[in-house]
Structure 1
């Protein structure tokens, strides 16, 4: 089962505040554990939404919306793509994660569609 694990943005991440050296080190160790377990497929952090753009679709028309975007708690600051046995395994791994932000934060886990979902 493939899952996308989203690190939700916070006010600090949207300000571009980088994690401490200690947190970078802890996250590096955590990512190494994911690699050794054969779970990690991809991972990265995202720049604040002020560096981003959205393209809105309405029928044939397209409009570009410049960041920053409101509703910080709905934004994503980073992600992992994992291959796990099931959602319980994904939750167990997320619970082992160091807090990815300076203060309170959330991580969201979403399963990806597989070809078997369409049969």
Structure 2
């Protein structure tokens, strides 16, 4: 199964503060482990929402809003796509992840729909 691992944003990430050299090294080592195990398919960090844009749909109508968006805790700062046996394996990998932010942070794991889910 494929799982999207969302790194939730923080006030620091929304200010565009870059991770320390130590955190970058730890995350690089973790990503290398994921890749060597055949788990990591893709991953990346997102720039702050102040550089983003939202398109809201209502029927045929479209409304464009420029960032920043709030609250930071509801935003995504980065992601991985992992291929794992099940959510238990995804959780085991996530528990091994270095803390992705200075201070408290959250990873959210969400299974992706597969073609077979649609019949």
User: What's the TM-score bracket when you normalise by the shorter of the two chains?
Assistant: over 0.9
Q: How far, CA to CA, are the matches of 1:58 and 1:110 in structure 2?
A: 26
Residue 117 (str. 1) matches residue 117 (str. 2): yes
The number of equivalent residue pairs is 119
| Structure 2 gaps, min length 5 | none
State the Cα RMSD in Å. 0.5
Partner of 1:15: 15
Q: How far, CA to CA, are the matches of 1:64 and 1:99 in structure 2?
A: 34
Partner of 1:36: 36
The offset of 1:118, in angstroms, is 1.8
Partner of 1:4: 4
4+ aligned runs moved over 4 Å, structure 1: none
Partner of 1:79: 79
| Structure 1 gaps, min length 5 | none
Residue 91 (str. 1) matches residue 91 (str. 2): yes
Q: How far, CA to CA, are the matches of 1:55 and 1:118 in structure 2?
A: 26
The offset of 1:46, in angstroms, is 0.2
